Structure formats: C-alpha cells, structure tokens
Structure 1
Amino acid sequence: MSVATSGPTGGSSSGSILDRERIVAKAGFNRWLVPPAALAVHLCIGMAYGFSVFWLPLSKALTGTDEAACKDISLLAALTTTTCNWRVADIQIMYTLFFVVLGSAAALWGGWLERVGPRRAGVVATFCWCGGMVVSAIGIMVHQLWLVWLGGIIGGVGLGLGYISPVSTLIKWFPDRRGMATGMAIMGFGGGAMIGSPLANILINQFKGPDGPGVWQTFLVMAALYFVFMLAGSFGYRIPPAGWRPDGWTPPAAAQRAMITHGHVHLDNAHKTPQFWLIWAVLCLNVSAGIGVIGMASPMLQEIFAGKLIGHPELGFDQLDPGQKVAIATIGAAFAGLISLFNIGGRFFWASMSDKLGRKMTYCVFFVLGLVLYAAAPSLARAGSVALFVLAVGVILSMYGGGFATVPAYLADIFGTQFVGAIHGRLLTAWSVAGIVGPILVGYIREAELALKVPKDHVYDVTFYVLAVFLIIGLLCNLAIKQLASRWFMSDAQVAALQAKTATANAAGGSFGIGRGGLNGPAMLAWLAVGLPILWGVWTTLQKAAPLFN
C-alpha cells in the first residue's frame, strides 16, 4: 500500500510523524488497537468530572488568615489576593470553564481536526490538558486564583480536542458496530473521575503538611502521569484507508436501515439542516436533565433520606448532630461514586444496544424510560426505599452517559462519516449550554422550595417533575428527526477528492488485509494497559458504595 506524503496544504511534507498521511494503517494492522488508544486519552481527560476532590483542600490552603476581613471579599479581589483563602464557589468556576470551553473548542477546531487527523489533535490535547494542570499548579503555589482559572481554560481546550479526536476514526474503523466503538472510547470520559478521584485523594494525603494541603504537588504528579498515557494513546491512533471495510461486511441496503445514509454531508452544510438542530436539542435536553442530578447527587441523597441512611429513620436532616451529618456525607460521596459507575456502564451498554435498536429508537427509550423514572423518584423517596431510589437514579445516569456515547453514531447515520468528528464537535455546544442550564435550574428550584419552607425530604420533588418535562420535549424533538434529503450530500467526485490522501491503489474498496487480528497478543496488552486502572476504579467505587445497600 502506498502512502501519500503531501502536507495539508498540498505541498511536499517533511514527513512529520504527526501528519495524517503518516498514520494511514498498513496491511496487518489490527483495528482492535484503536479503542484502547482512545480510552487512554479519555480516561485522563475524564478526570475533569472529579475535580471536586480539590475544592475543600484549596479553600483551606492558607493558615493564619483573618477570616473576618476576608468574609466579604469580592470575586475580583479574590482573583489576586494572597492573604485570603478562596471560597469554594469561586474555585468551582474552574469546573464550569472546563465544560464551556470543551464545547467551544470542539466546535471551533473540529474542522481542523478532520484535516490534520486524530494523532496531531491528540498530541495538542495532551499538551493543553496537562499544561493546564501545570498552570493551575503554579497558580496554587503563588495563590493566584486567576492563574488557576487560566489553567482551566487551557485544560478545557485539551478536553474539547481530546474528546472528539477519536470519534470519526473509531466510526470509520467499526462501520459494522458504530455505537459499540464510540461507546468503548467515550465510556473512558465517564470513568476518568472513578480512577482519578481516589488517586488524587491518595496523592493529597501523601503531600499535605504544615506548608499546604498538597494540591499543587498532586496536580504536577497527575499531569506527568496523564502526559505519558495521553501521548501513548495519541500515537496509537491509526486511520483506515479510504474505501476500507471489515472482512465479510457489506453496508446494509437503504431499505433495511432507512436512517443510515451512504452519503456524506460537508461540515459547512450540516448545521444548515433541521436534523442537526433537532439532534442538538435532543442532546441538550438529555444532558440538562442528567447533569442537574449529577451536580446535586450527594446532597440530594442526604437531604431526602437523612437518618434512614444510618439506621435512624425518625430523624430528618436538620435533626442530625454534626457527627451524624459527617456519617451521611460519607454515604452521599459513595452515592456520587456509584452513579458515576452507572454513567460509565451506560455509555458502553446503551451505545452497543443502539447498533441493534437503531439510534432514534435508543433515544426514544432514554426519554420514555427516563420520564417514568423521574416521575417515580419522589414516590420512591417517600416510600423510604434507599436501594430503589439509588437504582432509579443509577439507571437515569446510565442513559445520561448513553446519550453522549450514542450521539456520534447518530450523527454518522444522518450525515455520513467524512466530517462526523467536526460535526460532533459543533454539536457539543449543546453540552456547554446544558452544563449551565441543568445545575442552575436544579439549584434555583431547590432554593425556591427551601424559601417556601418545604421539608428537605420533599425539596427535590418539583425538580424531578420539571426534568421530566425536559424529557417530554426531547422525545418530541427525537421523533421529528427524519432522513436527510439527497440535496445535502456531496457528490462522489467531492468525496473522492477529500479522501485522495488516504486512498489505496484498490479504489474498489475492501479490507486490504487491514483490521484483522481480533484480541491477539498486542491488542490484549493494549487493553490491559487501560483495563487494569478501570478495574481498580470500579473496585474502589464498589467498596465505598456498599453501605448504600446494607
């Protein structure tokens, strides 16, 4: 197989190992090496979900401060103060920056990613994510909150590029199982906190002392570890040659799978279609509902069940003494960890199921089943069944994760695979919006209910009903999605011109001896490299969550 060496501008290339043309797979390459490479990147950037472990230690970084003088400090003053501890609410803005910038970066540079290929994008993501942690570590060392935020912005760019870098690649490697392929990678993003949070706790306890809480040292160590893993994953990316398909696989006839197109829509036209905005709304509504629950999971469980969690069902939350509140806070943290496990599992399970059910039907299941569970949650809470409530919320969060993992395959079905990574990047602006709407809505409703003197064990009832309305609207949007009209698709000549640099001598297509091998020795080693940390995270999470079912 010949490999083109022309650069992205059409001139002669110096042959950089990051060039898209240099990562076209050759005969003998095993496609099962690509998912663990994607997982290596996603498990690292997925720690963005777990940064809450740093907030409390950072809020107590300075000792001997004048708390009275710092009590009413403004946000602007907090950005540069070196004498006052930071408020948790001010530090948490870093978390918001992560996900707002993630969607913006994915939208802005998705087209660039498609031109340069996943390896170069993955390497840039590595430097941004790990570099952002280093900048934040410096900010912690010199106690400058603006530097911590700047690290969050830089890291957010890494999140956006790292998140979408393997999407189109995996879809092209697994046209026979698009949902499963993206589910394997994107479940890593949900699992990053499951591994990173306990690791961060271990490191903080190792480094903390009289001089500080040990957070900046933890940032630097984790940045170094993530740098190695993300670079290894990025250099593991390969793209199939144009026209490649798995041995023995034939694309299904249009009559069999009407919602799966055989054409390709250009990036410049995708957002002009109603289908793009309907899928955008579907993702935004599904994520808004789920992320609102994630953000309040721990306090929600504590306030609803209170004394029931520690064998005192007669005690409401406000009747607990400080020691009892510490005990239920520990259980609440375990609940947050457990639902992250559902989030991860749902990404793989539901995305794989979508290969059988179809993407549209899978989202219908999300919205209908989610509607039932959201509506039933207040009744489960009143019944006092902790296990059933936890299970219901777990299933809800599995569909939250499943929505993320299924949507790239949904886009590929509707718009084709040529620009699916860039189209997915633009769609992730829905995540940015949902990341603001969901938590703010849930927080506002809670505060409004408390102001009305609603008992704390009933304060989330309205929240669940409002989120159920979100799902009804999402269901209607999903039902409205139809197959694209032929006028939106590029011509065969346009597609051939775009694919020329990755074409093979055999223009008729076929496997070219590429993609075979299954889970052979090298693939097993690659899977072990990412699988062992996942197993450690699962075991740690299950140990902490066991009290919920006692």
Structure 2
Amino acid sequence: MPPAALSVHLAIGQAYAWSVFKPALESTLQLSGTQSALPFQLGIVMLGLSAAFGGTLVERNGPRWAMFVSMTCFSSGFLLSALGVLTRQYWLVVLGYGFVGGIGLGIGYISPVSTLIKWFPDRPGMATGIAIMGFGGGALIASPWSAQMLTSFGATTTGIATTFLVHGLVYAVFMSMGVLLVRVPPDGWRPKGWTPSPAGSRPLITTADVSARNAIRTPQFYLLWVVLCCNVTAGIGILEKAAPMITDFFAGTHAAVAVGAAAGFVALLSLANMAGRFVWSSTSDLIGRKNMYRVYLGVGALLYLVIALFGASAKPLFIVCALGILSFYGGGFATVPAYLKDLFGTYQVGAIHGRLLTAWSTAGVLGPLIVNAIADAQKAAGHAGPDLYTTSLFIMIGLLAVGFLANELIRPVHERYHERPAQQDGSPVRQSPVTEKGQAV
C-alpha cells in the first residue's frame, strides 16, 4: 500500500517544482513574477476545491477510481500546457496545469490517505506521513529532472513545450502503478496483536464517529481550517518563489547563487518537505497532534524571524532555517489527517479531509500573492536583494501567530455531533463494507 500511495504522490508533488519553470516562462513569454505564478496558484485552488467536492466520491467509489481520475487529469494538464507554450497561448498553460491538472492534484492527494489510515489504525500519524511525504518529495525528483530537460531542450517555446510533453507521458505511466496496486483492508481489519485504546485515554482522541456533514458544523473544523491555512500560507509563498528568492537574497555578494544551484536549493527544500511529512507526523503519534502543531507554528515563526533579521548575513543560516520551515510546512500537511481522525473518527475522514483542504486553496492564492506582489512592488521602487522579501517574512510570522492561537482553542468535539456510538470493543461502526479492490459495496 505505501508504494501505491507514493506512485501517485511522488508524481503530483511535481507542483512544488513549479518555480523551476518560472524563469524560462517569464523570459520566453514576457511574463511578470505574478503572472508566472498563476498556473501554480490555480492548481492549488483546484486541489482544495476538487478535494472538497470530490471527497465523498472518493469514499464512495474507492481509491482505485480516484487514482485513475487523478492520473488522467494530471497528465492531461501537462499536455495542454505543452500546446499552450508551443502556440504562445499562456491561457492554455493556466487552464492545463492550473485547472485540469489541479483537479488531478486534489483527487490524487486524498485518494490514498483514508485507505492507509485503515491499514495502520495503530499509527495514523505514520500512515498519513507515508502517504503524503511523496507529495513533498515530488519536487526532489522533478526539480533537477525539469532543470536538466530545460537545459537539454533549451529554454525556448519548443524546449519548454517538449519538457511539458515528457512530463505528461512519464507521469501517466508512473501513476498507473498506483491504480493497479491499491487495495483497502477488509471491514473491521486490525493489525495482529493490536487492541484500540479505550476512549478518553488521550486528550482530543475519540472512538466515536462524526459524519462529514456534521463535521463542518463544529468549531473544531474551522479552527483546524485556520491552523492549516496559516501554516500553508507561511510556507507555500516562499516555496513557490524558492529559486528566485535565494538568488535575489545573495545577489551581488561573494555568496551569489547560480541558476543551477538555485534549482538544487529547490530540491533540498523538497527533501526537507518530504522528510518532515514522515518524521514529524510519526512524532505526533507520540506527543499528540496539538503539541506537534505548537512546534510547527511556534518554532516556525522563530525561524522566519531569524531569516528576516540575519538570513542575508550567512547563506548556511538562511538554508538551515528554510529547511526547518519547509519540514514544518510538510509535517503540517501530513499530521492534519491524523488530527481529523482523532477529532472526528475514521468514518468519512477522507471526505472531511477533502473539505478541510479548501484551506490549502485559500493559502495557495494568498501565499504566492503576498510574496510575489510585495517583491514586484519593492523591485519597482528600486529595492533589491533581501529588501524584496523582508515585509513578506514579517507577514508570515503574524500568520503563524494566528494559527498558533487557533490551535490552542481546539477542544474535543461535543457528543451532539457524533454520528453513532462506538462499539463496546472501541472500534468504530462502519457505514458500509468495501471490497478488496477498493470499491464501495
């Protein structure tokens, strides 16, 4: 099951390597930084919207159907983008990569999550970390691969279009492995020798179940929405701008960063993003989800402060802080499904997760918009280097503080929202059985 999940998430995680394409697109199609971010922004918006509206369909039709839909949309998005660049119709790139590909991102993102939680009920944080770390690690593969193709094919309309074409075809083959491998466990399945903990054994963990319809009526859902939105906004804006950002930060100094090194920095951030998703989400099984988010938001704000005040003075300090921030950013994504499982139970957790990802859609617009708009305005005012990003960094610190406060306000879900009582042995009541092929009966 982990390879099935990773085959999809490692592919759709390419979205985090979009910044590698930005310089080539900007110079070839004469785009501004804000314009070149549009496909990425729309892709993240569609990720959240398709996950929200498709979450119930994923639960109903099973992970195999979801992975097939994801593969078709994501690969088709690249093919449309290739046509758009070749014909110099940038709106086709936005439509293909952003809209069509974004639907593939959303459906593919949630497709293995609830399945792996069912396979690993004793370690839900680790399970979601396995599933979602691939999304963070996708750019680790895509960033150097894309940079090499742009070098080999050339940063021209033909070269960029060929790069997009190769991406679409290769990812279709790679994602098909997940479609063939994925299964769901038999109804009521448990790991050998494992017994669920009794209700109330740990704070915020319930053995009751809450439906997706009731979940969106609880204050816990909206507090967690704010937590995720703030954490994602604080990370995604810098991640989308990673390659140009490190170049600008040290431009004109003895530590200037070349284009190839900037692409390597994006890959390094992807590695931290991927590792954080597994390490921190697994750690949350030990210390609890709420404590883990205290680390993400509180320590993350301190790391942003260090970059804002001292980042330009030492490249290693800048890189280490950025790696820490991106590990927390990735960890926040991987921990949130387990947080939802703790609060609302496993019943319809995939659908609840899909609705919560609208926070990602919002952050996908806010993060790049804040960083790119402020950087463009500062550049127009004659500023350069770290001054392009200082204001953005302090805004991110404020957002993390808001998220920290929202996390502190989360309490157990009131009984009136429970769908039905748990069985006496502590296992949740299932709504309907599923077959081994992942299809609802």
Relative to the length of structure 2, the TM-score reads 0.90
Q: 1:241 to 1:309 in 2, by over 3 A?
A: farther
Equivalent in the alignment of 2:64: 119
Partner Cα separation in structure 2 for residue 242 and residue 361 of structure 1: 32
- Residue matched to 1:198: 144
Residue of structure 1 equivalent to 2:172: 227
Quote the residue 1:339 is aligned against.
Answer: 269
Post-superposition Cα deviations, 1:277-333, rounded to whole Å, max 9, x if no partner, equal: 0000000001111112223334443444334443xxxxxxxxxxxxxx6x5444433
Q: What's 1:87 paired with?
A: 31
Following superposition of structure 1 onto structure 2, how do residues 122-141 of structure 1 map, counting pairs within 5 Å?
122-141=67-86
Asked whether the equivalents of residues 55 and 88 of structure 1 are also in contact (C-alpha less than 8 Å), the reply is: no
1: CA distance, partners of 2:175 / 2:265: 29
Q: Which residue of 2 aligns with 1:387?
A: 316
**8 Å Cα contact 2:144-2:263 kept in structure 1:** no
Contact 1:57 1:213 in 2 (8 A): no
Structure 1 SS opposite 2:354: helix
CA deviations 1:114-138 (Å, max 9, x no partner) are 0011111111111111122222223
Which residue in the other structure is 1:69 paired with? none
CA drift of 1:425 comes to 0.7
Quote how far apart the aligned CAs of 1:88 are. 5.2
Q: State the Cα distance separating 1:452 from its structure 2 match.
A: 7.1
1:454 CA drift (Å)? 6.4
Q: Cα distance 1:110–1:488, how it changes in 2: closer, same or farther (>3 A)?
A: same
Tell me the equivalent position of 2:20: 53
Q: Which moved more, 1:134-143 or 1:250-259?
A: 134-143
Query: Which residue of 2 is the match for residue 164 of structure 1?
Result: 110
What secondary structure, in the 3-state scheme, does the structure 2 residue paired with 1:257 have?
Answer: coil
Aligned partner of 2:439 in structure 1 is none
Q: Distance in 1 between matches of 2:27 and 2:374?
A: 30
AA aligned to 1:247 is K
Q: CA deviation at 1:205?
A: 4.2
Is 1:491 equivalent to 2:437 in the alignment?
no
Q: Which moved more, 1:105-114 or 1:459-468?
A: 459-468
Deviation at 1:349, TM superposition (A): 1.0
| Aligned position for 1:295 | 240
The question of whether the paired residues in 2 share the 8 Å contact of 1:282 and 1:474 is answered with yes
Whether the 8 Å CA contact 2:75–2:168 is kept in 1: the answer is yes
| Shift in CA distance, 381/489, structure 1 to aligned 2, threshold 3 Å | same
Structure 1 residue 139 displacement after superposition: 2.8
Among 244, 249, 253, the alignment partner of 2:198 is: 253
CA shift in 2, pair 1:146/1:392, >3 Å: closer
Aligned counterparts, 1:395-544, within 5 A: 395-446=324-375, 456-491=385-420, 496=429, 498-501=431-434
- For 2:18, the aligned partner's letter is F
Q: What is the Cα deviation at residue 359 of structure 1?
A: 0.6
* Residue of structure 1 in register with 2:124 after alignment: 178
2:297 pairs with 367, 381, 401, which one?
367
Task: Quickly say closer, same or farther: Cα 1:185–1:501, change in 2 above 3 A.
Answer: closer
For 1:376 and 1:198, locate their aligned partners in 2 and report how far apart those are by CA, in whole Å: 28
The count of corresponding residues between Structure 1 and Structure 2 is 430
Q: 1:128 to 1:303 in 2, by over 3 A?
A: closer
Q: 2:53 aligns with which of 99, 108, 126?
A: 108
- What is residue 507 of structure 1 aligned with on the other side? none
**Are 2:233 and 2:366, in contact at CA under 8 Å, matched by a contact in 1?**
yes
Aligned to 2:9: 42
Counterpart amino acid of residue 409 in structure 1: A
Preserved contact between residue 139 and residue 266 of structure 2 (Cα < 8 Å):
no
AA matched with 1:51: W
8 Å CA contact 2:16, 2:270 repeated in 1 = no
Q: For structure 1, list consecutive stretches of 5 or more residues without a partner in the other structure.
A: 1-33, 62-84, 311-324, 504-550
Q: Report the CA distance between 1:258 and its aligned residue.
A: 2.6
Q: Which amino acid aligns with 2:194?
A: W
> C-alpha distance in 2, partners of 1:148/1:464?
29
Deviation at 1:420, TM superposition (A): 1.0
Distance 1:279 1:150, change over 3 A: same
Does structure 1 conserve the Cα–Cα contact (< 8 Å) formed by 2:149 and 2:163?
yes
Among residues 97, 102, 120, which one is paired with 2:42 in the alignment?
97
Tell me, in whole angstroms, the C-alpha distance in 1 between the residues paired with 2:173 and 2:27: 31
Cα deviation 1:15-74 (Å, max 9, x = unaligned): xxxxxxxxxxxxxxxxxxx0111000011111122233334444566xxxxxxxxxxxxx
What's the TM-score, normalizing by structure 1?
0.73
Please report how far the alpha carbon of residue 206 of structure 1 lies from its aligned counterpart in structure 2 after TM superposition. Answer: 4.2
- Partner amino acid for 2:328? M
Q: Find the aligned partners of 1:493 and 1:456 in 2 and give their Cα distance.
A: 58
Amino acid at match of 1:107: A
Q: For 1:305 and 1:57, how far apart are their aligned partners in 2?
A: 21
1:441 Cα shift?
Answer: 2.0
Q: Describe the SS at the equivalent of 1:391.
A: helix
Moved more, 437-446 or 184-193: 437-446
- Conservation of the 8 A alpha-carbon contact between 2:45 and 2:364: yes
Q: Structure 1 residues 301, 150: CA separation in 2 closer, same or farther (over 3 Å shift)?
A: closer
Q: Name the SS for the 2:251 alignment partner.
A: helix
Unaligned runs of 5+ in 2: 437-441
Matched, 1:349 2:279: yes
CA contact (8 A) 1:265 1:416 kept: yes
Measured after TM superposition, the shift of residue 145 of structure 1 is 2.7
Q: CA RMSD in A?
A: 2.6
User: How far has the Cα of 1:181 moved from its partner?
Assistant: 1.2
Q: Separation in 1 of the partners of 2:27 and 2:372?
A: 25
Rg larger for: 1
CA deviation after TM superposition for structure 1 residue 337, in Å = 2.7
8 Å CA contact retained: 1:287, 1:400: yes
CA distance in 2, matches of 1:171, 1:498: 16
Change (3 A) 1:247 1:428: same
| C-alpha displacement of 1:232 | 1.0
Q: 1:230 to 1:377 in 2, by over 3 A?
A: same
Structure 1's 179 and 134: CA in aligned 2 closer, same or farther, altered over 3 A? same
SS at match of 1:214: helix
Give, in angstroms, the shift of residue 97 of structure 1.
Answer: 1.6
For residue 198 of structure 1, give the secondary structure of its aligned residue in structure 2: helix
Structure 2 residue 90 is matched with structure 1 residue 145: yes
